[in-house]
Amino acid sequence: MKVFRWLWVIATLAVLANGYRVAMYVVPADADQGNLSRILYYHVPTWCGMAIFFTVNLICSLVYLAIRNRNPERAMKTDALALASAEMGVVYCLIGMATGSIWGKAAWGIWWTWDARLTTTLVLWLIYVAYLLVRRFITGPEMRVMAAVIAIFGFADIPIVYMSTRWWRTQHPAPVFFGGPNTGLAPSMMPALWWNLAGWVAWGVFVVALRYAAERRQQIADQQAAAVALEAA
């Protein structure tokens, strides 16, 4: 298992290094934006990572609510994975907003605008930050149930974020994937996107696995501490 973990890390770093090489030196610069368009090769994979890990969080939250009474041990595992994936999703969302803001400053001349895409994304980030704050500051057995319910409601914002560029007139362009006619990337730019997408998703999987392991250890340590206290009493 340890060997597999190290192989995963090495493969991830190799894919990210190659992704950087392809993004910087292989694919051509955009005709309009020049080298600035290369931000896309980190910006888009970040959003894909966010969507993946918030979806994992949603699934784990639903499973937790479904099995928490029937199978508490497995429910605790899914809860640990829900926490790890939510944190990773928040990190990806933050990076997506930061890289988008830097790109927007150069392309549009502004750091931020309150258009539908950016505003719904900020709301999404705040919902998941609230989810993490609930987990951090609320104690007691109902904390996990409350967090799972917030996660389910929070996820409802993701389709709104995705569809915002279709439903409303926005400063932000249409999505790269499934964005409709006259959207998407030139085939010559796709290799950089795929390499970086694979690299950042693999990175996310590694970090979530590490965070999950830490949370599981903490849960077990808390259970052991409770057992020791009972024995002492």
Partner 1 sequence: MNPMFHRHLVAAYAVTWIVQLSYLAYAARKWVAARKAQREIQKNRPSS
* Residues near partner 1, by CB under 8 A: 20, 33-36, 38-39, 42-43, 46, 87-88, 91, 94-95, 98-99, 102-103, 105-106, 203, 207, 210-211, 213-215, 217-218, 220-221, 224-225, 228, 231-232
Pull the structure tokens for residue 161: 């974020």
Distance CA 9, CA 200 (A): 12
Q: Whole-number minimum distance, CB 169 to partner 1, in Å?
A: 25
Between 183 and 224, whose beta carbon lies closer to partner 1? 224
Q: What is the largest CA-CA distance in the chain?
A: 74
Q: What's the CA gap between 165 and 171, in Å, rounded?
A: 8
Residues 6+ apart with CB under 8 A from 61: 82, 147, 148, 149, 151, 152
Residue with smaller CB distance to partner 1, 35 or 69: 35
Nearer to partner 1, 130 or 225 (CB): 225
Instruction: In angstroms, give the least distance from the CB of 24 to partner 1.
Output: 9
- 75-79 own/partner pairs: CB under 8 Å, 24+ apart: 76/216, 76/219, 77/216, 79/144, 79/147, 79/148
- Least CB distance to partner 1 at residue 75 (A): 19
216 membership: H or E segment, kind and range: helix 190-232
SS3 119: helix
Query: Residue written as tokens 């829900």?
Result: 82
Minimum CB separation of residue 181 from partner 1 in Å reads 28
Output 31 or 178, the one with its CB closest to partner 1. 31
Pick between residue 174 and residue 207 the one whose CB is nearest to partner 1: 207
Q: Closest separation between CB of residue 22 and partner 1, Å?
A: 14
